[in-house]
Amino acid sequence: MTSRYIIATLVLFTVRTVRFGRTNWPTPKTTIQLFLLGAIGLYANSVCMFNALKYLPSGLSMVIFYFYPIVVVLFGWALYKHKPPAIIWPCLITTIIGVILSASDVSGGQMKGVIFIVVGAFAYAFYSVLAGAVMPRAELTTGLMLVFAGAGFSFSVIWLLNPHGLPTTMPYVADVWLPALEIGLVGTIGAMGIFFAGMNRIGASKSAVIQTWEVLVAGLTGMFFLNQQFTLRQVFGGALILGGVLLLTRAEIKRGENLPQSAHA
């Protein structure tokens, strides 16, 4: 993880220097906010997700994690007074039941992974809400670079301090650096860059609907390539989670389309 964000930061810094030179930087306040988004929010989510994968299959991890859009709406209500539609309450109950069902067949040791996933979902939801408010203030390449720089800083500090219970490594041989380079370029810059570029064009609510395909892709990939299996209860729980998220996000989209034009400004 340390090398992933360092690589992404250096590449994006080079790209923005070629494009803009020393100009087009955001305000100092926005710069600090973006850096802290990475140093705290993205770092916390990454630590939780990768620790969860020690205990849970990747497909099941993604299914449980995907209740986070509900939390995003609740955080948006708490922080920015964006009152959600009334349908959020049955959606919230449905997703909670889905999480309970999905986690009900895991063993005692795997329950640690469930806890990591739930904490990571809350961290990512908080990160997403703040990013949605701060990222539009900066040019996309610059904003991503600052967020990745923050995450890279936190991972580097942990790597140097090497505290007990938070092992962080740095690649030392070419065979390990090559996968790290691929993750930094494709899995970090490519994936998150495309996501934020798309969200800026179609909005966060529609993006959340499209993102539900991520759960299906993760589940199928785990089944076909990693021989991961789901119980019927876990499949039903995953369907409840996705159903609640889709119902809420579609209600958010419909409400946004019905707002007068002045309300969007």
Question: What is the C-alpha separation between 58 and 239, in angstroms, rounded?
Answer: 17
pLDDT score for 171:
61
pLDDT band of residue 263 (cuts 50, 70, 90) is very low
Question: Is the model more confident about 8 or about 96?
Answer: 8
**Confidence at residue 200, expressed as pLDDT on a 0 to 100 scale:** 67
Furthest-apart CA atoms within the chain: distance in Å: 58
Top-ranked range on mean pLDDT: pick from 30-39, 154-163, 215-224: 30-39
CA distances from 171 to 8, 42, 75, 176, 181 (A): 15, 21, 37, 6, 10
Does position 166 have pLDDT exceeding 70, yes or no?
A: no
**Mean pLDDT (whole number) for 47-55:** 85
Summarize the confidence of residues 105-121 as an average pLDDT.
80
The answer, yes or no, to whether residue 14 has pLDDT greater than 90, is: yes
Q: SS3 letters for the chain? A: CHHHHHHHHHHHHHHHHHHHCCCCCCCHHHHHHHHHHHHHHHHHHHHHHHHHCCCCCHHHHHHHHCCHHHHHHHHHHHHHCCCCCCCHHHHHHHHHHHHHHHHCCCCCCCHHHHHHHHHHHHHHHHHHHHHHHHHHHCCHHHHHHHHHHHHHHHHHHHHHHCCCCCCCCCCCCHHHHHHHHHHHHHHHHHHHHHHHHHHHHHCHHHHHHHHCHHHHHHHHHHHHHCCCCCCHHHHHHHHHHHHHHHHHHHHHHHHHHHCCHHHHC
Give φ, ψ of 177 to 5 degrees.
-65, -35
Q: Which two tokens stand for residue 139?
A: 């040019």
Q: What is the pLDDT of residue 261?
A: 38
Q: Mean pLDDT throughout 31-44?
A: 92
Residue 15 · residue 141 · CB < 8 Å: yes
Could you read off the pLDDT of 119-165 as tens digits, one per residue? 988 888 888 888 878 888 888 899 999 999 999 999 888 888 877 66
Local confidence band at 202 (pLDDT 50, 70, 90 cut-offs): low
To the nearest whole percent, how much of the chain has pLDDT over 70? 80
Neighbour count for residue 98 (Cβ, 10 Å): 25
Read off the pLDDT of residues 227-243 as tens digits, 9 standing for 90 and up.
777 778 777 887 888 78
Quick one: average pLDDT of 27-36?
94
Q: What is the mean pLDDT of the chain?
A: 79
Once rounded to an integer, what is the mean pLDDT over residues 63-90? 78
pLDDT band, residue 260 (cuts 50/70/90): very low
b/e map of 177-187 (b: 16 or more CB within 10 Å)? eeebbebbeee
Domain limits, the chain = 2-256
- For the chain, report the end-to-end CA distance as a whole number of angstroms: 39
Residue 111 reports pLDDT greater than 50: yes
